[in-house]
Structure 1
């Protein structure tokens, strides 16, 4: 594995994903560089979640390549991609509702055996997510939606990701809570974790992102900096609720 700091951390080239013969993702190209926060926006059913699941390894690709640190990772199973530093916070959070908050967080470190470092990482997560620290002994299923989302992010951080895939972190949450979640996402990015964010709230996603891709019906139709896309009349009309 030879990593050139100027080469992309993640590169999708011509990636296709199909469900029962129907192509959900139709040959997309996408690049992510170390330390970037990039978002993927688009309407429901555009193929955004499918893209994240394919990168994480929970879906097989039907064509093209996924290169990570210069290596073809589409041939690896999901747990091996996790070991390499690719972590997914799925849509709907996917936390273990019957386990305590602390047990959920520790599940994030299941591929690791560096006990002392895991404890340090837990402390880091507690500092970043004080609300989570207050509820360590609580059963995760009894938390509010926002708290569950924070636990899901904390759990992913315990795998020590280099690349964090976030799928709809603000879904179903009150505006104030969404603000809090985005503050957390920003502090994760500041720690040097590269983030690919799928987010229904396009306005917020673009405000926080250095770059973004717009996805329509399984294709990438537009790309630019967050600011460029925020001011693009097409994007404003389609995703930011403004009349063209």
Structure 2
């Protein structure tokens, strides 16, 4: 999972330009701009309904866009279908995990590699995921719908890793999980980042997200209203008042 030698250092791995997304005539995302360079971990924070999940789904190709452009590795991918984006290295861990509840844990993991044909490499990647997620390895034969929320989240991350992503989109990985489980999930994500995977994280826990990410974007009502380093946004009075429960 190294940086792409074909990508110029100055060229972002992902660039959104004037991105617009609409639902039934209602504009949910209103012309946002966002960039990620290879190897970065960037978070997108904001209140419910701000457009964060919508943005991730559009990047993954799950939702159509109404305007603007999505560039990945320097190429415009507006018309590229979701399965081809996955093959190109864009993997989404969706809000709510989205696992196949009636399949076993192992079957869920192998679904992440459905676009791949390199059988030996898939087995090697499975072993790597088992090392990273030992709790998942202990439950390979278990039906995924019977797992705890934290275990399901680990399966969802493992499944995404089986696609060998260059860009990992994480949507609310801490949602509904106990603090100790959240800590473990973010340890895993940190390990993934250290391997060179670029990460765009949507997370309602703004404090956790900004401590974890190198840079952040604040989204309000479909627009990007602030951007900066994670540490700078953590100290911004507006961010602290709006998302960390402090008075401005």
Q: Does 1:168 align with 2:194?
A: no
Partner of 2:38: 34
Q: Does 1:78 align with 2:82?
A: yes
Q: Does 1:55 align with 2:68?
A: no
Partner of 2:48: 44
TM-score by length of 2: 0.97
Give ranges in structure 1 of 5+ residues lacking alignment: none
Q: What do the CA deviations read for 1:198-233 (whole angstroms, capped 9, x no partner)? A: 001100000000000000000000000000000111
Q: What do the CA deviations read for 1:30-61 (whole angstroms, capped 9, x no partner)? A: 00000000000000000000000000001000
Q: What do the CA deviations read for 1:140-193 (whole angstroms, capped 9, x no partner)? A: 011100000000000000000000000000000011111111111111100110
Structure 2: distance between partners of 1:128 and 1:6: 32
Shift of 1:100: 0.5
Q: Does 1:8 align with 2:12?
A: yes
Shift of 1:67: 0.1
Give RMSD over aligned pairs.
0.9
Matches of residues 170-185 of structure 1 in structure 2 within 5 Å? 170-185=174-189
Partner of 1:107: 111
Aligned residue pairs: how many? Answer: 244
TM-score by length of 1: 0.99
Deviating 4+ runs (over 3 angstroms): none
Counterpart secondary structure, 1:137: coil
Matches of residues 109-188 of structure 1 in structure 2 within 5 Å? 109-188=113-192
Structure 2: distance between partners of 1:219 and 1:26: 6
Shift of 1:5: 2.9
Shift of 1:125: 0.5
Q: Does 1:193 align with 2:197?
A: yes
Shift of 1:74: 1.2
Partner of 1:242: 246
Structure 1: distance between partners of 2:203 and 2:12: 22
Structure 2: distance between partners of 1:5 and 1:61: 28
Structure 1: distance between partners of 2:206 and 2:171: 13
Counterpart secondary structure, 1:93: coil
